[in-house]
Amino acid sequence: MDNSKKPEYFCLRPEVEKAYGYSHAVKIGNSIKVSGAVSMDDEGAPTSVGDFLQQMKNCYSDLDKVLKHYGCSFDDVVVENVYTTDMPAFLEHAEYRNTIYTKQFPTGSWLEVKGLALPEFLIEIELEAETQQLT
């Protein structure tokens, strides 16, 4: 297999991710797929319960850590999908994304869902990024 196409997996919280059965991100070539981030601590417990904006900020904080692992930033994001159990609350706080995406917005979808992995989670954000780094 061409080494540039060999998947490079990254776990932000290895124990939590193993327990739930996922990896937070995988890079193949110049493409990075990032699992949905939720507002949780290092043990997987929900944080900022009931505070939509802080949960949103916590999601972006975790996503930033994943992107930085690969030498990327939000400028490299090409797809952002937002899942929320409260679309009106997301729309109320959506302008916070202007502090995240300062050059351009990615493509993506905003979806209201019945529930996320745990009932305390109000928002989950997943990304895809493209890097121009040599692989």
Name the strands in the sheet holding 31-37, side by side, starting at the edge strand that comes first in the sequence.
Answer: 8-10, 25-28, 31-37, 123-130, 77-84, 107-112
Across the chain, mean pLDDT equals 95
pLDDT at 135 over 50: no
User: What tokens does 113 get?
Assistant: 């869902």
Distance, C-alpha 25 to centroid of its chain: 9
CB atoms within 10 A of CB 29: 14
**Structural domains of the chain, ranges and CATH numbers in brackets:** 3-130 (3.30.1330.40)
pTM here is: 0.93
Q: Is the pLDDT of residue 133 over 80?
A: no
3 — pLDDT class (breaks 50, 70, 90): low
